[in-house]
Amino acid sequence: MGGDHAPDEVVKGVAQVSLATDIECLLVGDERRIQSVLEGVSYNPEHIAILHATDAIGMADEPRQAVKRRDASLVVGVRAVAEGRAQALVSAGNTGACVLACARHFRLLRGVRRAALASVYPRQREHGGQDPLALLLDVGATVRCEAEELVHFALMGSVYARRVSKVASPAIGLLNMNMGSEEMKGGEVLVEAHRRLRQLPVVNFVGNVEGNDLVRGRADVIVCEGLLGNVALKLIEGVSEVLYDVTGRAGERRVAWRLGLRLLSRGSERARALTDYTQYGGSPILGFEHVFIKCRGRSGARAVANAVKVAAKAVRDHVPREIADALAAAR
């Protein structure tokens, strides 16, 4: 039961899911507080159960120490999935603790050396029917990677985009932010990863991509080391937030600018809708035998509800098994 607005928004999101779907939800956290929130909203009790946990990991807690607290709701929830009491976990809590809890209690898929934290983000579409969202991984589960691990990330991202986002043949790009798009640039690891991906028939590899390609439609899945991915993701989010702040302040200062913004309102609303993270809810941690969807810490009820639906979809479409099959086929 983590996140900036837990437990209220998390419980409300699950309550929405219970009314709109047949997904069975297990809320993990302080039973008394959860029940108190449920009593204030509409929900279907047939689709919600509660697993009591006496502790909760804070957003600022040190992850390595935090996941040692056995009664923390995140740890209890991960164990519940590992033991078969649930099929997937959704959390808006401490990201580092989420990754480490998975590493402690979930098994990596056969052949996977390291898991990857992915992030779904909006991008420009370059042709009709293209998904408005792209997948970037890794964005924080690793710092540096070997070429083989980047290849694994490409396979994992390809499967997730195909099964969850319904992209028939996801275009895979290898992020080469500093050195250019040519295949021989980027250092030994990137050159080797490029060579291996180019030879993989099960992956639609489109080559190296640069930073400006992140928000364009050239690649549906972009692969990189965690350090680079985290910086790139924060940059995308930061630019988007600054754009809205600048636009809002301009409208407050001058009447002419306010009139101009009204003329552009339709476009602004479309941009706002495109960058609205609540519509896709959360992003996966890939490489484990179980499904884990990580929501943003500030997620409200709508984002949580959509994350639960994404998790259910990933379970229904056997994403972990599909990843294992893809890795086996690539060996």
Amino acid symbol at 191: V
The series of mean pLDDT values per 10 residues for the chain, 331 residues long, is 89 98 98 97 98 96 97 98 98 96 97 94 83 92 94 97 94 80 78 95 94 89 93 79 66 63 59 60 93 93 95 97 94 82
Torsion of CA 167, 173, 97, 77, to 10 degrees: 20
- How confident is the prediction for the chain on average, in pLDDT? 89
Please report where in the chains the tokens 């930073």 appear, as a residue.
211
User: 241-290 pLDDT, tens per residue?
Assistant: 676 666 666 666 666 666 666 655 655 555 555 556 666 678 999 999 99
Residue 128 pLDDT:
77
Q: What is the pTM of this model?
A: 0.87
- From residue 111, give the alpha-carbon distance in Å to each of 46, 133, 274, 285, 323: 39, 28, 36, 16, 10
Q: Which residues of 206-218 are buried (b: 16+ CB within 10 A; e: fewer)?
A: bbbbbeebbeebb
d(CA 230, CA 293): 17
d(CA 191, CA 126): 27
d(CA 137, CA 256): 43
